[in-house]
Structure 1
Amino acid sequence: MKNKTLAAWLAFVGGPLGLHRFYLRGLGDMLGWLLPIPTALGLYGIERARLNGLDDQWSWLLIPLIGFTIAGCALTAIIYGLMTPEKWNGRFNAGAAPDAPPGQTGWLTIGAIVVSLLIGTTVLMSSIAFSFQRYFEYQVEEGRKMSQ
């Protein structure tokens, strides 16, 4: 039986690696295998920024990928945590009673929701701000080059 609290925490903590998808759908889940790709590209962007500075165009294109992946996984954790026990057990625990304990919401589930909301929102807004700032700085630099 798949536990809602564990799935919510796996989506938040290990979501960028697809751990929640493997827990709920098994190792044959294709999206679970694809989730580490934007995570790895974002980490590569961070490494490029560390080595080449923030003026590196590839870094400001790649870094938001990890932010959007983390934010998406945090949203998934929130959705899992807020799912009703009947819907959870119907979807992930077929054959179990609608009010079976693995689908119940407890304080640890609420904790996963709160932490996912706080961290996910922060990461999402930071990723958006970073990418737009870099984009507009690049546009200003190109405008200056054209005006000279």
Structure 2
Amino acid sequence: MKNKTLAAWLAFLGGPLGLHRFYLHGLGDLLGWLLPIPTALGLYGIQRVQALGQDDHYSWVLIPLLGFTIAGCALRAILYGLMTPEQWNARFNPQSAPDATPGRTNWFTIFAIGLSLMIGTAVLMASIAFSFQRYFEYQIEEARKISQ
């Protein structure tokens, strides 16, 4: 029996590592094995910024990968938490009754939804702001080089 609350928390806390996918679909899930790749690339981008400074062009691409992965997993946690018990049990517990306990929403599910909404939105906005800021600063630098 797959528990909706546990799946929402795994998507929120361990989603960038694919933990929610492994919980729901097993260790053979391809997407679960692919999720750590953009996470690792984003962490590598953060290391590049710390080592080389903010002018590193590769970090502009790599860091948002981490942010978008975290935001996507937070969205998945919200979607899991908002599924009705009938939908949840039909999809992940087909052998159980439509209103079985693992598909029901409780306060821990609501907390997972709320935290996912707050943190996921903040990370998404920060990733977009970082990407656009670095891109436009680069465009201004290149325009100055051309004008001189």
Q: Structure 2-normalised TM-score?
A: 1.00
Other-structure match for 1:112: 112
Residues 3-38 of structure 1 deviation map (CA, whole Å, 9 limit, x = unaligned): 000000000000000000000000000000000000
Other-structure match for 2:144: 144
The letter for the 1-side match of 2:27 is L
Shift of 1:2: 0.1
The CA distance in 2 between the partners of 1:106 and 1:74, in whole Å, is 18
> Which 4+ stretches in 1 moved above 3 angstroms?
none
Shift of 1:60: 1.1
The letter for the 2-side match of 1:47 is Q
Q: Does the residue aligned with 2:98 lie in a helix, a strand or coil?
A: coil
Other-structure match for 1:86: 86
Unaligned regions of 5+ residues in structure 2, if any?
A: none
Other-structure match for 1:38: 38
Residues 83-104 of structure 1 deviation map (CA, whole Å, 9 limit, x = unaligned): 0000000000011000000000
Other-structure match for 1:48: 48
The CA distance in 2 between the partners of 1:37 and 1:95, in whole Å, is 34
Unaligned regions of 5+ residues in structure 1, if any?
A: none
Residues 66-112 of structure 1 deviation map (CA, whole Å, 9 limit, x = unaligned): 00000000000000000000000000001100000000000000000
Residues 110-139 of structure 1 deviation map (CA, whole Å, 9 limit, x = unaligned): 000000000000000000000000000000
The CA distance in 2 between the partners of 1:50 and 1:109, in whole Å, is 36
Superposition CA RMSD, Å: 0.3
Other-structure match for 2:24: 24
Q: Structure 1-normalised TM-score?
A: 1.00
